[in-house]
Amino acid sequence: MFHFVKTAIKNRIKLVSILVFGLVLTAYSQEIQYETKQNIPYYNASINQADEYINERCVLDIYYPKNTKDFPTIVWFHGGGLTGGEKEIPEQLMGKGVCIVAVNYRLSPKVKAPIYIDDAAAAVSWVFKNVADLGGDPSLILVSGHSAGGYLASMIGLDKSWLNKYDIDADKIAGLIPFSGHAITHFTVREERGIPGTQPIVDSLAPLYHVRPDAPPLLLITGDRELELLGRYEENAYLMRMMKIAGHKETTLYELDGYGHGMTEPAFPLLLKEVQRIKEEKNNDK
pLDDT digits (tens, 9 = 90+) for 73-123: 999 999 999 999 999 999 999 999 999 999 999 999 999 999 999 999 999
**pLDDT at residue 285 in the model:** 85
Task: Answer whether residue 141 shows pLDDT above 90.
Answer: yes
Average pLDDT of span 228-244: 98
- Identify the domain containing residue 61 by its residue range: 12-284
Query: Residue 12: CB partners within 8 Å, gap ≥ 6?
Result: 255, 256, 257
Phi/psi for 251 (5° steps) reads -115, 130
Residue 5 lies in a domain: no
The verdict on residue 6 lying in a domain is: no
Q: Say if 4 falls within a structural domain.
A: no
| SS3 label, residue 44 | coil
- Assign 158 to helix, strand or coil: helix
pLDDT digits (tens, 9 = 90+) for 144-187: 999 999 999 999 999 999 999 999 999 999 999 999 999 999 99
For residue 10, pLDDT over 60 is answered with no
The pLDDT, as a whole number, for residue 212 is 98
Residue 8 has pLDDT above 80, yes or no: no
- pLDDT value at 4 more than 50: no
Q: What angle do CA 66, 23, 237 make, to 5 degrees?
A: 100
| pLDDT at residue 190 greater than cutoff 90 | yes
Predicted local distance difference test score (pLDDT) of residue 9: 41
- Please tell me what DSSP assigns to residue 93: G
Asked if residue 1 belongs to a domain, the reply is no
Mean pLDDT of the chain: 92
Residue 23 has pLDDT above 90, yes or no: no
Residue type, 117: I
Domain assignment present for residue 94? The answer is: yes
pLDDT on residue 286: 72
Residue 2 has pLDDT above 80, yes or no: no
**What's the domain count of the chain?**
1
Spatial contact of 218 and 252, defined as CB atoms under 8 Å apart: yes
10 Å CB burial of residue 66 (0-12, 13-18, 19+) is middle
Per cent of the chain over pLDDT 70 is: 90
Please give the average per-residue pLDDT across 182-206, as a whole number.
96
pTM, entire model: 0.91
Residue 13 has pLDDT above 90, yes or no: no
Q: Is the pLDDT of residue 19 over 80?
A: no
Let me know if residue 2 belongs to a domain: no
Task: Report if residue 147 sits inside a domain.
Answer: yes
Query: CATH number of the domain that 17 lies in?
Result: 3.40.50.1820
Which residues lie closer than 8 Å to 46 by C-beta, 6 or more apart?
Answer: none
Is residue 11 very low, low, confident or very high in pLDDT (cuts 50, 70, 90)?
Answer: low
On whether the CB atoms of residues 213 and 164 are closer than 8 A, the answer is: no
